[in-house]
Structure 1
């Protein structure tokens, strides 16, 4: 099926430049690198084996006893690495069952894979959703020092990865999940550490005119875990961002900065590079969903940003589940 998009080249080129310029101008807010020569400056496309989270994961791997490796370590291409779910244990042992030093290394990985503000949010979320960081689960795929090694942590409302770019062209090492159960089914999700993202996204809807709102507002949301990348030939829900004015596009770019902000700069930089490779802002669509409108207030709790290389599905009712997949389609 053909992708709905605007094909006027001058507008497309302009908006992509505006998008990168807007992101670069917000470097201090989102941890993004400044602009150099019209593109996002970065040390590389994503983290490396020598990044903070990856070196901690390598030390964790080396610390494991043989009996621990039997239950925590898998070949890199194991099917468990490809699963995503908002609430699952990738392995049976909890982090709290590891040795004290190993628990500290896992925490170092998490801290290295997130921004300072994001780390604080994730720790609050883990405490409130599952009784603490110690109740989550980890797995290690492949071996450190090779081109195929990944750390993964899962549990209620969280999937986090650190892969040293073993999965090239995929931000965050592959699809990730985040969420929070606080405020369940209550208007405004009181106490929820991710509700601010609903507020930010709805600023875009508030800036749309009547015709644009008709395009952006969709009755039923797709399955929340349906974040497979469609590539350039895909059909995406909602309004094509090529239909927006420069000011409206800046609002969308500010949403992208906000939702990426909990993660480390290396992953954010790779994500931005992948968005650009997929056609930039004008290749994305944004949809808001009528279903499950908490409080029936027209502040849409479920919304989605999607394009050829980018899917961010935010389900904010009855509480937050967000599924993310950002990768170059090959």
Structure 2
């Protein structure tokens, strides 16, 4: 199993600061306590993964036959904004009350306090709560490489203890919210507001490069590598104050997730050339209320894709570092 280094031997703090744009980058993410977790990342002993192992050990052979798979099963690579990875709902009699509590503990371990609260409301609004979602376990938690996956309407979450090397979140994840009556009431409208602060800061020439007419497929989040041509404007072409707005946007995007995953994301960004290698694109298609607050946008770089579709409601697909998905 691949594990994150806990020393600075292969990737030291000085290089990290340099690649993400100097001390200002760390300052922009200071609330994540990035220094403490930078080289740790998630591990088999992280809170979510500990709960996964406890959950796995509690399963009977009959339960394992329905929701457990080999680590390399192709089901683990699928991504969608609305699917059940198994046909057994968490709230069904298939699981004990104790097991349902363990699943909730996994979700708590994967999220920040705000992220957990936001996720609870999203699941309740969109599908009646966590009980209506499904889970699967790949591999052998506590012994070998493994991954826990939670799926359902507008959600895919993973916990893998860093079994998937250099893949933040254990692979592609999905979030969303079905609110359509008032875009400002969507649980993730704050992300659109923040990214649009970047757009508002652009001069006419920069805005012309950042604005794209037609949106790409929301599931087109394959990692492209160093030689790809990315849509929108390069962060390297922005002024220092504009780059600070990009960093603030990354902070807002990452805020719902646990500290270990936030740190791993930024380490992957750093190792793939830094924040300056990212591009930001805003799409004219899907401009709700025709207010030029762009509801569909994308942040992309050599090892980073964050695609946000806010029209008619939110579907967001994230893939950072993971080079394979179905």
Q: Does 1:315 align with 2:309?
A: yes
Q: Secondary structure at the match of 1:268?
A: helix
Displaced runs of 4+ in structure 1, greater than 6 A? none
Q: What TM-score, normalized to structure 1? A: 0.90
Q: Does 1:104 align with 2:105?
A: no
Q: How many residues align?
A: 308
Q: Secondary structure at the match of 2:21?
A: helix
Which of 159, 163, 167 aligns to 2:164? It is 167
Output aligned runs, 1:186-225, within 5 Å: 186=181, 189-225=183-219
Q: What TM-score, normalized to structure 2? A: 0.91
Contact 1:23 1:257 survives alignment (8 Å): no
Structure 2 match to 1:149: 146
Call closer, same or farther: CA 1:254–1:211 in 2, change over 3 Å. same
Which of 99, 117, 126 aligns to 1:120? It is 117
Output aligned runs, 1:295-314, within 5 Å: 295-314=289-308
Which of 231, 254, 257 aligns to 1:260? It is 254
RMSD after superposition: 1.8
Offset at residue 281 of structure 1 (A): 1.2
User: CA-to-partner distance for each residue in 1:125-174, whole Å, 9 max, x for gaps?
Assistant: 00000001110000000001234111000000000000000001000000
Structure 2 match to 1:5: none
Contact 1:218 1:288 survives alignment (8 Å): yes
Structure 2: where are the runs of 5+ without partners? 1-14
Distance in 1 separating the partners of 2:294 and 2:17: 26
Q: Secondary structure at the match of 2:143?
A: coil
Call closer, same or farther: CA 1:103–1:170 in 2, change over 3 Å. same
Q: Does 1:64 align with 2:54?
A: no
Q: Does 1:93 align with 2:101?
A: no
Contact 2:52 2:102 survives alignment (8 Å): yes
Structure 1: where are the runs of 5+ without partners? 1-12, 35-40
Structure 2 match to 1:3: none
Structure 2 match to 1:46: 41
Structure 2 match to 1:137: 134
Structure 2 match to 1:22: 24
Contact 2:38 2:263 survives alignment (8 Å): no
Contact 1:45 1:273 survives alignment (8 Å): no
